[in-house]
Amino acid sequence: MRNFILLFCLLCIQQGFAQDYTVEDVMRLRLRNIGPIIQENQVKGYYAFYQVARADRGNRIFMLKILDENAQEVASSSLVKSKFTYLTEGVYNGKAILFSFIDTRERTAELVTYDLSAQQIGSLRYPRMRGNVWRATYGYSMIEGEESSNLTIYPAGESGFIRQSFVDTRKTGYKLEFLPNDLGESGRWEKSSDPQSREFEVPEIADVHAPFLISGIALRRNSSSRDIHYNLQLRDIYSGEALFEQPLYDKQYKLSFLMGKFHPKRNEIMVVGEYFRPQDKVFNGKSLGLYIMGLDLEGNINRKVFLSWQEDISKFLSVNEKGRLDEGGFLAFHRAVLDRDGELYFVAERYRKAVSGTGVALNILSAAAGSESSGIAYLKMVVEEMLVFDLSEDLTLEEVKIFEKRPNSILLPEGWGWFSSKALAQYMASFGWFDYNYTQEAPDDKSFYATFISMDKEKKEGRKPYMGVIIKDPEGEFSLDKVDLRTDARRINVLPASPGKVMILEYYKRERRLSMRLEEFNY
């Protein structure tokens, strides 16, 4: 999330008089260290991890607070750790909570598990990481991606967790491991990519639906290559055995990987993404449209649908054969949601590259002042309206809903203007620069909430920041709700919450107080 790395300070947390959960005497807290505890894309609680005292020269005493999904405190526990420790993820599996820490000085990772009363039940420290493995691990831990999803650790039933990490191979590869709740040896397995592989391999775990683990493996010659191809992998989470691993392939097209999900009703693996001409590169090429594929549990393709910009999507949007919209710009697909009846939705956002008046002016001024550059590109990215593609169970595109919002300009660093629009969109997505925030799927598997942060401009009130929520209710109706984010507080931030709600964090600097409150969406 944007503005996420804010430094707040904190001494102690207590239950306040007010209706919200209040953190008093805030002195020092990295806001990144307040995050959601997630189970299968559902927020089950929150953690707050903050320094309370100095233990010795290199170590600090940290307090770890566990809050439930209504931000009520469950328990607190103290830990002595290196002062370079960061809590990067919190995952819940119904029986245990796993926290993942990294120590940026020692370059180590550590996992700690707690039972539901916050008693520590296990811990596991990994050896020091080097080179690409450390860089990739550190980069992943700093990702500003969707916070309603797991990043590297996933619940695997109630008995353990699946963790993905990087390993040193001929090129950098990956390791998947199953960790029991007590992080002991019993039931544990590890599966790594081929050590002789000539490609850089990064797994993207798409769905863990016991007993299946569905991953898309991105392969490329090196970490900066823009020519990416994907493998689809299905594993049994309890044995670790691969049920199949095969390239995402079509005779005519190159395919990208956007989502993979188990479809219980059809006992099928659903895979969706964009398709490209064979000579195009997935990272920066212009796609021809969207594909949806259904595979059985042995990897055989049951059905395959291509929705081309020219033939199918243009019925609902003015768009050319390469996905360029008539009003200018392209679509970035952020999330695909598959509901229990097999209906499919894509959440997208329009973006375009434009000349930046500020960039031009700054560069002219820099040149006049004798400086070589201003550090800002002449071009900027503009993100515009949100869109939701609605596909029926038989994968026919039925409707494209458009949700207007004010265009938001993003100034680009110098040199970025040379990248293609598609490549810029990839970078922007990984830095969290789109207005899109996250999507929550409700446990009924019929409704979802896609959120974005934007700004309204009103004559009397000036700028009015708000969180927009595209709501698809269980009856299939779409609506838009706006959560006003104006505040008297010094800073405001939002975190995902249980479906239909949002957690609002407000920091009052003068009172040194951080308040957390839950608000419900209206529809």
Partner 1 sequence: MKLPILFMLLFGSITLTAQSLDFLPAPPPNLLDRETELYYESRLKSLQKNLPLQGPGKRAMKRLYEARYEKLFRELRGGYMIDRKGISDLCQLVFERIIQANPDLQKLPLRLYVSEETGPNAVSLGEGTVILYLGLLRRLENQHQLAFVISHEIAHFVLDHSRNTMVEQITYAYNRAAREAEAARIENSSRAYEEVVNLLQKRLYQRHRYSRQAEFEADSLGLRFVMATSYAPEGALGLLEILDQVDADKFQDSIAYRQRFDQAAYPFQDRWMKPPAKSGFIYGKNDFALEMAEDSVGTHPDCQLRIQVLQRQLAANQSSLQLARGRQRDALFRLLHPQMDKEWLTSFYRNGQVGKSLYYSLKALTFYQDDPYVHSMVGLSLYHLYQSKKNHRLGKVLDFPQPKQPEDYQTFLTFVRNLKLKELLGLCQAYMGAQPEAWNSYEPILFAKVCAASLSPESARFQELSKTYQKTFPQGVYLEEWKALAQP
Q: Which range touches partner 1 (CB under 8 A), out of 61-69, 83-91, 160-168, 315-323? A: 61-69
40 part of the interface to partner 1, by CB under 8 A: no
The partner residues of 411 in beta bridges, in order of sequence, read 380
Of the candidates 31, 43, 63, 214, which one interacts with partner 1 according to CB under 8 A?
63
72 part of the interface to partner 1, by CB under 8 A: yes
68 part of the interface to partner 1, by CB under 8 A: yes
Question: How is residue 287 written in tokens?
Answer: 């796609």
Tell me which residue of 263, 258, 215 sits closest to 240, measured CA to CA.
215
Of the candidates 2, 54, 490, 509, which one interacts with partner 1 according to CB under 8 A?
54
Under rule CB under 8 A, which residues in 475-504 are in contact with partner 1? 483-484, 504
513 part of the interface to partner 1, by CB under 8 A: no
Cα–Cα separations (whole angstroms), residue 145 to 255, 323, 426, 432, 451: 22, 24, 12, 6, 13
Nearer to partner 1 among residue 18 and residue 297 (C-beta): 18
Distance CA 210, CA 155 (A): 9
Report how many residues bind partner 1 under the rule CB under 8 A. Answer: 39
Distance CA 45, CA 70 (A): 7
Minimum distance from residue 114 beta carbon to partner 1 (Å): 8
Under rule CB under 8 A, which residues in 338-377 are in contact with partner 1? none
314 part of the interface to partner 1, by CB under 8 A: no
460: how many CB neighbours lie within 10 A of its CB?
4
Nearer to partner 1 among residue 68 and residue 241 (C-beta): 68
Distance CA 322, CA 364 (A): 35
Under rule CB under 8 A, which residues in 214-273 are in contact with partner 1? none
The binding track of 3-22 with respect to partner 1, each residue x by CB under 8 A or -, is: ---------------xxx--
- Going 446 to 494 to 406 to 41, the CA torsion angle's sign is negative
The single-letter code of the amino acid at 280 is D
Distance CA 243, CA 236 (A): 7
Minimum distance from residue 396 beta carbon to partner 1 (Å): 32
Minimum distance from residue 226 beta carbon to partner 1 (Å): 42
- For residue 286, the 8-state DSSP code is P
The single-letter code of the amino acid at 203 is P
308 part of the interface to partner 1, by CB under 8 A: no
DSSP code per residue over 302-362:
EEEEEEETTTTGGGTS-B-TTS-BTTS-EEEEEEEEE-TTS-EEEEEEEEEEEE-HHHHHH
Nearer to partner 1 among residue 378 and residue 523 (C-beta): 523
Give CA angle at 274 (271, 275), nearest 5°: 105
522 part of the interface to partner 1, by CB under 8 A: yes
Minimum distance from residue 335 beta carbon to partner 1 (Å): 23
Q: Which range touches partner 1 (CB under 8 A), out of 65-73, 227-235, 263-271, 289-297? A: 65-73
Distance CA 157, CA 237 (A): 9
Minimum distance from residue 20 beta carbon to partner 1 (Å): 6
Of the candidates 9, 25, 70, 455, which one interacts with partner 1 according to CB under 8 A?
70
Tell me which residue of 329, 455, 349 sits closest to 400, measured CA to CA.
349
CA atoms within 13 A on the CB side of 420: 14
Of the candidates 11, 74, 143, 354, which one interacts with partner 1 according to CB under 8 A?
74
Question: How is residue 152 written in tokens?
Answer: 């590297």
Of the candidates 26, 66, 270, 271, which one interacts with partner 1 according to CB under 8 A?
66
Minimum distance from residue 417 beta carbon to partner 1 (Å): 39
Nearer to partner 1 among residue 51 and residue 233 (C-beta): 51
Distance CA 405, CA 386 (A): 7
Of the candidates 1, 23, 26, 44, which one interacts with partner 1 according to CB under 8 A?
44
Nearer to partner 1 among residue 61 and residue 411 (C-beta): 61
Peptide bond into 195 cis (omega under 30): no
Minimum distance from residue 341 beta carbon to partner 1 (Å): 23
The single-letter code of the amino acid at 249 is Y
27 part of the interface to partner 1, by CB under 8 A: no
- Going 170 to 156 to 97 to 145, the CA torsion angle's sign is positive
b vs e for 249-278, b when ≥16 Cβ sit within 10 Å of the residue's Cβ? eeeebbbbbbbbbbbeeeebbbbbbbbbee
Minimum distance from residue 509 beta carbon to partner 1 (Å): 19
Q: Which range touches partner 1 (CB under 8 A), out of 50-58, 243-251, 379-387, 412-420? A: 50-58
The binding track of 97-126 with respect to partner 1, each residue x by CB under 8 A or -, is: ------------------xxxxx-------
Distance CA 418, CA 416 (A): 5
Q: Which range touches partner 1 (CB under 8 A), out of 49-57, 187-195, 240-248, 366-374? A: 49-57
3-state secondary structure of 248: coil
The partner residues of 437 in beta bridges, in order of sequence, read none
Distance CA 213, CA 242 (A): 9
78 part of the interface to partner 1, by CB under 8 A: yes
Of the candidates 35, 36, 45, 323, which one interacts with partner 1 according to CB under 8 A?
45
Tell me which residue of 488, 491, 493 sits closest to 503, measured CA to CA.
493
Nearer to partner 1 among residue 46 and residue 166 (C-beta): 46
Nearer to partner 1 among residue 15 and residue 223 (C-beta): 15
Minimum distance from residue 97 beta carbon to partner 1 (Å): 9
| Interface ranges with partner 1 (CB under 8 A) | 18-20, 44-45, 52-56, 61, 63, 66, 68-78, 80, 94, 115-119, 483-484, 504, 517-520, 522
